[in-house]
Chains A and B, each alone.
Chain A
Amino acid sequence: MDEVRCPMCGKLNPEELDTCQYCQARLKPLNISSAPEEDAEITSSSASFNETPSQKKPPDQTPALPEWLQPDWLQSLRQGSGTDELGEIEPEDQLPDWSSQEVDPGDQETESAESSAPEDSSEKPDWLEGLRAANQAEPETPSEQDSESTYSEEMPEDEIPDWLQRIRARQSSDEPELPLEEPDAESAEFLAKLRMSPDADETDSSEQADAEEAQPGPDEEDSQVPDWLAEYAESGTESTPPELPDWLKSDELPAEPEDEEDSLAEFPSRMTPSQPPFTEPFLEEDIELESATELPAETPPDKPPFTEPVDEEEAEGEIADWLADLEIPAEQEEMTSLPVEDEEKTSFAFEAEPAEDQPDWLQDIEIKDGISPKEDEQDQDSELEVVAPFTLDEESADLIQEELPDWIKEIPATEAQTEAEPSEEAAGELEPAELPTWLESMRPIESVAPSAPASDELDQIVESSGPLAGLQGILPAEPEIAREMKSPVYTVKLQVSENQQSLASRLAEMVKSEGIAAPIPRAPTISSQAVVRITIFLILLVSVVWPLYTGDLGAPAPELSPEVLDAQLLINALPDGGNVLLAIDYQPAYSGEMNATTASLLDHLMIKGAYLTLVSTSTTGPAQAEQLVRYVNNQMGHQYRDTSQYANLGYIGGGLSGLRSFAQSPQQIMPYALNASTADESTVWIDGRLSNIQALSDFALTVVISDSPETARNWIEQVGPALEDTPLLLVVSAQAEPLVRPYYEGYPKQAKGLVVGLSGGVAYESSMPRPGIARRYWDAYSYGIPTAVFLILIGGLVNIVLAYLPTLKPGQGRAKR
């Protein structure tokens, strides 16, 4: 079934349809013209436009040439014979095959349009033949001449193209020239006619022989040099004509006359034989797609039809020669190769015509190149790579496809197929490697995961401005380094284990809780600590109260220690009435212990009648001194009440400096006595018992009574050097003994005697004939110390048990901490 190509979308549609079944465009234009002939022309032109390239186009459907393109010979023919030159067109049987085409029986327009084609399927336009003949200025070959004459004379009327008929009619009736047809329709018919269909070629092959007979001879061809070409040659410059392409250069062709060369120099570029349409790009060694793409633009709207019948043999030889001269390099082959499958992408929708429709000469060429038509068809399905700078849409691609002759389409396709074959063969030979399992397991993840094929980013860039707007794969004007690119952000994910995470969260909670005040838990009214403290207090209280309440329980008195004995000896060695310096430097909190310790010694001094000089380096010392004297008086029955028995000099200020000063000049530092009742009695250094005391060394004995080891040390350090031969006696608390004893134990002794705590007092008291209060406290002290020791031991054991109890498990030994 015949099909018609849609002029809009380019898709094939059945011929009987008026509108395209895809895009709903009209397949058959409407005939508006009143002239029946014009209508016939229009319909015939539209029919030819809608017909497939494979269909032959009748020669009479070629568009009417405008006047400026009408050759003079054509006009002369019209004027001379009264008919169009085309009226002398050889009959149909003498026309080449391509000029006639297969039409439906019902299409009378097509039948009328069937006329001899000006040329065969060798795609050489007649006007080009004319140009050649004009340039060469040689008589045309008899075959050509005959073909021209026979073409114009012997062509039956029904085979005369419409446009030719119109011309004849004008000339005969002197009608004004019809307005030129629209270039589009004319060009469409002309372009359609240029499309060499295989079917038309086959049928035309038989007609070519007839056409050859009708071709005019060389003499006639000479006379048929178009005048318009000759005019241009005369008015042209003396510039040398451009070089003819190879296919035009032929031994058979006559040499170009010089005059004609000059006259042709000024021809329009598109009319010069040096730039024949659709041929030059394909004759040159370097096929450029640009020139190929320029073909549609450079294609004139009105192309002269192939009016000159061409000798079939000559045409074949010429075609073969120029076609054989085609040496398309391999690079150009790639550029010209087209993907057959996707017609939209390709700029040149070269349709691979079936082998059956291809002309014989083309088939011979293909065979010569080693490519059979059948193979060609098979390879057409393979994807052909094309690198086209311009991408055309489907409609323009179809137009280009229709404009170009078939021989142009077939050449790149065949050559591109040869490239596809080896690539396919090479791809078919390769097989994916099979890795062993052990190697597969070592394979990195990146190599296993499918990755997108690498592609150059430059190819994806589409230029948006400038003269190269719309092109793809263009090198950027700015270097990549000058582009403003955002720096990549590398994410670093820290791998944290669960243990580390828990520790980190714990640390964060600790830091967070630092600023938050923790609520103070309300202490219970009665706690375990309070119970323990009360229990201990009660136990100690009972151990102390009971002996005090019951009286003497017979606790053995301590032995008389050497230090106590030395102290006692020192006091025994005092002269009667001797001056004794007493330093009362203990705190009121320890007065109970110190009173009990000192009472016996002070009683001994009082018994000796010693004059007591009381001083103190603490502010409460003078008061303590007074209280001690009164206590001993009350307990022992002594009467030391005024400055005649003792002198309370008071407080020595200045710390160590004051003590040092007192040691150097006691009268100046402590001039007055606090216990003086009168002012006169206060001056004990002048009128009292201290008038013969100039320095501390004048005292008979120095007794330091202290509860602190520091105080005792100060007295020893500051006053000791000033005492010289005066003995120093230390009466200290039990807590000061470890630090004070070295002063007694050392050699030479810095302290001549030492009485320590209640035990020393009890020991000293035991050597005295009268009992003192120390013996009274000794029973309670004797029971209290063991009780305290017992409590300490019990408490320690309980704590040890409580500490190790949670870790102890049945069947296990002692847990390690």
Chain B
Amino acid sequence: MSLADLSLTDMLGSIIGFFLTLMVFSYAFGDNAMFRTAIHIFIGVASGYAAVVAWYNVIWPQLIIPMVFGTQADRIDILFPSVLGVLLLFKASPRLSPLGNPAVAYLVGVGAATAIGGAILGTIFPQSLASINLFDQQNLQQGGEYVIQLAKGSVVLIGSLATLAYFHFGARQYPNQPAGRPKWLEGLAWIGQIFIAIALGSLFAGIFAATLTALIERVDFIIDFIFALIPS
């Protein structure tokens, strides 16, 4: 594909993208001005696009239109959020900041409730049930590999308990000994450290894979751009 086949915007975008990519690659030689320029451009563009999206996706359709073009019922519905929104604006002033506290408190309270509720209902309960169901006979019988599944379940169970034990920091005072955890808990915590280390290692591998893929995509873009500049 050549640049001539691209539209003007795509061509400009490709050109800008090419140079920005090279500027970011310059970080391989250390922190420099080109890399910082590319980063600043990205942050600016992202902030501007976010502001535009916030206006077009939040303020205009959910505040302005109901208030201006909506019915009375719509205006009543939008009254309370509008008042909280206005109070939240006072947070920008140090002197008038206390006026925005009710809005912040509402947001924090609702957000905490949503998060906690979702975590409990969406993660803790289901995951705990899933860990228990690993030893469900009906599930094991369904699979052919009963022992493997049972072992897998045991590993998962031990790993879960050991990881939780590792994060247990309660200590007990023993005579003529410094305060510390019981020895059996210390051993279980040591096993938990192994599982945590494995988890962190897998995370690192995934991060490296993702960044490598990003590198491959950018290199491919540069090669395509270079080849596109070359007249065929």
Are the chains A and B members of one assembly? yes
- On A, residues with C-beta under 8 Å from B are 530, 533-534, 537, 540-541, 544-545, 548-549, 588-593, 595-596, 619-620, 622-623, 650-653, 655-657, 660, 670-672, 674, 707, 713-714, 716-718, 720-721, 733-739, 742-743, 745-748, 750, 757-759, 776-777, 780-781, 784-785, 788
* B28: chain A residues within 8 A (beta carbon): 533-534, 537
Confirm or deny: B216 has a beta carbon within 8 angstroms of a beta carbon on chain A: yes
* A589: chain B residues within 8 A (beta carbon): 214
- What is the 8 Å Cβ interface bit string for chain B, positions 184-215, against chain A (1 contact, 0 not)? 00000000000000010011011111101111
- Top 9 A-B residue pairs of the complex, sorted by shortest distance between their CB atoms: A592-B217, A746-B130, A717-B122, A717-B118, A619-B50, A735-B206, A593-B213, A734-B209, A734-B206
Selected contact of B118 from candidates A656, A757, A759, A781, CB within 8 Å: A656
* Pairwise interchain contact B199-A548, C-beta atoms closer than 8 A: no
CA distance A650 to B114 in the complex (A): 22
* Pairwise interchain contact B49-A620, C-beta atoms closer than 8 A: yes
Count of B residues near A, CB < 8 Å?
51
* Pairwise interchain contact B217-A718, C-beta atoms closer than 8 A: no
CA distance A780 to B212 in the complex (A): 9
Selected contact of B53 from candidates A590, A651, A672, A721, CB within 8 Å: A651
* A777: chain B residues within 8 A (beta carbon): 213, 216-217, 220
Confirm or deny: B155 has a beta carbon within 8 angstroms of a beta carbon on chain A: no
Selected contact of A620 from candidates B46, B111, B127, CB within 8 Å: B46
A-B contacts counted at CB < 8 A amount to 166
CA distance A742 to B123 in the complex (A): 10
* B42: chain A residues within 8 A (beta carbon): 588
Instruction: Name B3-34 residues within 8 Å CB distance of A.
Output: 28-30
* A530: chain B residues within 8 A (beta carbon): 29-30
Confirm or deny: B182 has a beta carbon within 8 angstroms of a beta carbon on chain A: no
Instruction: Name B135-182 residues within 8 Å CB distance of A.
Output: 136, 139
Chief secondary structure at chain A's binding surface: helix
* Pairwise interchain contact B218-A592, C-beta atoms closer than 8 A: yes
* Pairwise interchain contact B202-A713, C-beta atoms closer than 8 A: no
* Pairwise interchain contact B206-A781, C-beta atoms closer than 8 A: no
Selected contact of A590 from candidates B130, B208, B210, CB within 8 Å: B210
* A548: chain B residues within 8 A (beta carbon): 216, 219-220, 223
Closest A residue to B222 using CB positions? A545
Closest B residue to A777 using CB positions? B216
A619-B49, A622-B53, A784-B212 are contacts. A713–B217 as well, Cβ < 8 Å? no
A619-B49, A738-B203, A777-B220 are contacts. A721–B121 as well, Cβ < 8 Å? yes
CA distance A720 to B117 in the complex (A): 13
* Pairwise interchain contact A588-B223, C-beta atoms closer than 8 A: no
Closest A residue to B24 using CB positions? A589
**Could you list 21 A-B pairs, sorted by A, with CB under 8 Å?**
A530-B29, A530-B30, A548-B216, A589-B214, A592-B216, A620-B49, A622-B57, A651-B54, A656-B118, A672-B61, A674-B56, A716-B123, A734-B207, A735-B206, A735-B210, A738-B206, A748-B130, A750-B122, A776-B220, A777-B216, A777-B217
* A544: chain B residues within 8 A (beta carbon): 212, 215-216, 219
CA distance A331 to B126 in the complex (A): 115
* Pairwise interchain contact B202-A738, C-beta atoms closer than 8 A: yes
* Pairwise interchain contact B57-A651, C-beta atoms closer than 8 A: yes
Confirm or deny: B83 has a beta carbon within 8 angstroms of a beta carbon on chain A: no
A672-B61, A717-B123 are contacts. A785–B53 as well, Cβ < 8 Å? no
* Pairwise interchain contact A735-B123, C-beta atoms closer than 8 A: no
* Pairwise interchain contact B219-A780, C-beta atoms closer than 8 A: yes
CA distance A777 to B220 in the complex (A): 8
* Pairwise interchain contact A590-B223, C-beta atoms closer than 8 A: no
* B115: chain A residues within 8 A (beta carbon): 656
CA distance A191 to B207 in the complex (A): 131
* B46: chain A residues within 8 A (beta carbon): 588, 619-620
CA distance A784 to B210 in the complex (A): 12
Closest A residue to B52 using CB positions? A619
Closest A residue to B58 using CB positions? A653
* Pairwise interchain contact B122-A757, C-beta atoms closer than 8 A: no
- What is the 8 Å Cβ interface bit string for chain B, positions 89-125, against chain A (1 contact, 0 not)? 0000000000000000001001100110011011100
Confirm or deny: B129 has a beta carbon within 8 angstroms of a beta carbon on chain A: yes
8 additional A-B residue pairs with CB within 8 Å, beyond A735-B206, A785-B212: A533-B28, A548-B219, A590-B214, A620-B46, A653-B58, A747-B134, A748-B126, A788-B212
* Pairwise interchain contact B122-A593, C-beta atoms closer than 8 A: no
Shortest A557–chain B CB gap in Å is: 15
CA distance A735 to B210 in the complex (A): 6
* Pairwise interchain contact A595-B217, C-beta atoms closer than 8 A: yes
Shortest A733–chain B CB gap in Å is: 5
* B223: chain A residues within 8 A (beta carbon): 545, 548-549
* B218: chain A residues within 8 A (beta carbon): 592
* Pairwise interchain contact B134-A718, C-beta atoms closer than 8 A: no
Confirm or deny: B37 has a beta carbon within 8 angstroms of a beta carbon on chain A: no
Most A CB within 10 A of own CB, among B119, B126, B223? B126
CA distance A780 to B57 in the complex (A): 40
Confirm or deny: B133 has a beta carbon within 8 angstroms of a beta carbon on chain A: yes
Selected contact of B213 from candidates A588, A592, A622, A655, CB within 8 Å: A592
* Pairwise interchain contact B212-A781, C-beta atoms closer than 8 A: yes
* Pairwise interchain contact A714-B118, C-beta atoms closer than 8 A: yes
* Pairwise interchain contact A735-B209, C-beta atoms closer than 8 A: yes
CA distance A716 to B127 in the complex (A): 12
Closest B residue to A530 using CB positions? B30
Closest B residue to A739 using CB positions? B203
* Pairwise interchain contact B208-A750, C-beta atoms closer than 8 A: no
* Pairwise interchain contact A757-B206, C-beta atoms closer than 8 A: yes
CA distance A596 to B220 in the complex (A): 12
Selected contact of B210 from candidates A533, A534, A549, A593, CB within 8 Å: A593
CA distance A533 to B31 in the complex (A): 12
* A541: chain B residues within 8 A (beta carbon): 219
* Pairwise interchain contact A619-B122, C-beta atoms closer than 8 A: no
* B129: chain A residues within 8 A (beta carbon): 746-748
